[in-house]
Amino acid sequence: MAEASISVGQNQFTCPVCLDLLKNPVTIPCGHSYCMSCITGCWNQEGQRGVYSCPQCRQTFSPRPALSESTILAEMVEKLKKTKLQAAVPAGAGDVECDICTGRKHKAIKSCLVCLESYCQTHFDRHEEFRSGNPHKVIDATGRLQQMFCPQHHKQLEIYCQIDNCCICYLCTMDEHKNHDTITAIVERTRRQKNLEQKQRNLQQKIWEIESDLQQLIKDVKIHKRSAQKAVDDSQRNFTELISSIERSRSEVTQLIRDQEKAAVTRAEEHMKQLEKEIDDLRRRDTELEQLSHTEDHIHFLLSFNGGPVIQHLDLSKFSTTSSSPLPPPHHHYDDIRKSVSLLKEKLEGFCKEEIEKISGTGKILELSPSIHTDTQTHSHTQTHIINMSFGFHSAKQ
């Protein structure tokens, strides 16, 4: 119950003129209360007519009523301030501040194009209540109110000059922009909105193309990895069937495949990082264009469209245009390695069988025992030479 009482009291203790809590509150004969300075300022302007009125109910008084501060109201206002139950949210970094708040500023939610002020929720409610008989045009809170008015005539910029490509007020059409081709700012905004939407479609198409390239590249990497693994498995299976004298060559072939895989994947990953970076950049630009596309501030839109960096620096030609993979076709390359290893296996098996038959045919196996070690070394050297020649190890080392 106490909280509800304070909420009602806060509305009663708000000055209808400045829309803030009463300062040096006074109550005039009709019963309405104002800040001493606010009602004094109003009546000073009416002093020439000799009749003084209430800004709320318009009841007139003559002669001018004497004003004295209401002690009870002043005490209630001070108590209300101490409760800290203000409905507005404190303004943070980047927020538009309420122009009416005193002391700590609160976040503005609306800006009035007639009063040229921004209001927090509390002061906006009071503004709407006070202007209910003659509503003002308001927009979402903006810190660019001054940009929306002509610096020369202090009138709202509502017209676009097609000759000078700038926003002007209606008085400018009778002055320096007389006889120029002009249209309303909203019509020019509509025309340029279509141009912006086309640019955005082009940008989104580029994003789609690069994403397609990225997906294809991911598939190519998987194919390369699968092909490389199959080549490693086949090579290891074939080398397992060979005698122990070619173990070193098997490791060399495995290492060769891994090196080629690593080189291919490294190139692909570098390209992937580049594409992902381009996508992030394009998405950021797309977001900026999307925000610009939906802004209610026509003047900000046109100024940004004419000279803003988002439009001026939107050069899609610097982004990736190729849809081809930077990797070589994996199948033929690894198939050649597998075929070479398989052929080497057949040759080595044939060579070993032929040599064993020769030894068996001599009938002197036991007599050849002392030379077996030498023959084995010769065979091992010959087999290693065949492997080296098959995979081009000598050329690689050179």
Question: What is the phi-psi region of residue 363: left when phi exceeds 0, alpha when psi lies from -120 to 50, beta otherwise?
Answer: left
166-180, 301-315, 381-395: segment of lowest average pLDDT: 381-395
* Domains of the chain: total: 2
In this structure, the answer to whether residues 78 and 221 fall within a common structural domain is no
What's phi and psi for 110, nearest 5 deg?
A: -140, 150
Residue 392: HSE in the Cβ half-sphere, 13 Å Cα cutoff: 7
Q: Which of 85, 118, 152 is the last residue of a domain?
A: 85
Spatial distance between the Cα atoms of 144 and 147, rounded to a whole number of angstroms: 5
Query: Does residue 378 sit within a domain?
Result: yes
Query: Does residue 91 sit within a domain?
Result: no
How far, CA to CA in Å, does 125 sit from each of 15, 113, 132?
12, 16, 10
In this structure, the answer to whether residues 366 and 233 fall within a common structural domain is yes
pLDDT in the model for residue 396 = 40
Please write the tens of the pLDDT for every residue from 19-57: 777 888 899 888 888 998 888 888 887 766 778 888 888
Spatial distance between the Cα atoms of 283 and 364, rounded to a whole number of angstroms: 81
Identify the domain containing residue 373 by its residue range.
189-397
Beta carbons within 10 angstroms of residue 206's beta carbon: 19
pLDDT in the model for residue 308 = 67
Strands of 159-161's sheet, edge to edge?
166-168, 159-161, 182-184
Spatial distance between the Cα atoms of 286 and 207, rounded to a whole number of angstroms: 9
DSSP for 154-206 reads --B--EEETTTTEEE-TTGGGTTTTT--EEEHHHHHHHHHHHHHHHHHHHHHH
Query: Does residue 122 sit within a domain?
Result: no
Please write the tens of the pLDDT for every residue from 202-261: 999 999 999 999 999 999 989 888 888 888 888 788 767 766 667 777 788 788 888 888
Largest CA distance in the chain: 147
Query: Does residue 252 sit within a domain?
Result: yes
- The closest alpha carbon to 267, from 203, 191, 324, 189, belongs to 324
pLDDT in the model for residue 2 = 42
Q: Which of 70, 85, 100 is the last residue of a domain?
A: 85
Residue with the larger pLDDT of the pair 81 and 277: 277
In this structure, the answer to whether residues 207 and 75 fall within a common structural domain is no
Is the pLDDT score of 385 beyond 90?
Answer: no
Query: Does residue 142 sit within a domain?
Result: no
Q: Which pLDDT band, with edges at 50, 70 and 90, does 271 fall under? A: confident
347 burial via Cβ count (<10 Å: 0-12, 13-18, 19+): middle
Spatial distance between the Cα atoms of 177 and 80, rounded to a whole number of angstroms: 54
Query: Does residue 247 sit within a domain?
Result: yes
Q: Which of 33, 58, 85 is the last residue of a domain?
A: 85
Please write the tens of the pLDDT for every residue from 177-204: 988 999 998 898 888 899 999 999 999 9
CATH code for the domain in which residue 11 is found: 3.30.40.10
Which pairs with CB-CB distance under 8 Å and at least 24 residues apart come from 360-369?
Answer: none
Query: Does residue 151 sit within a domain?
Result: no
Query: Does residue 178 sit within a domain?
Result: no
| 270 Cβ contact partners less than 8 Å away, ≥ 6 residues apart | none
Spatial distance between the Cα atoms of 95 and 19, rounded to a whole number of angstroms: 21
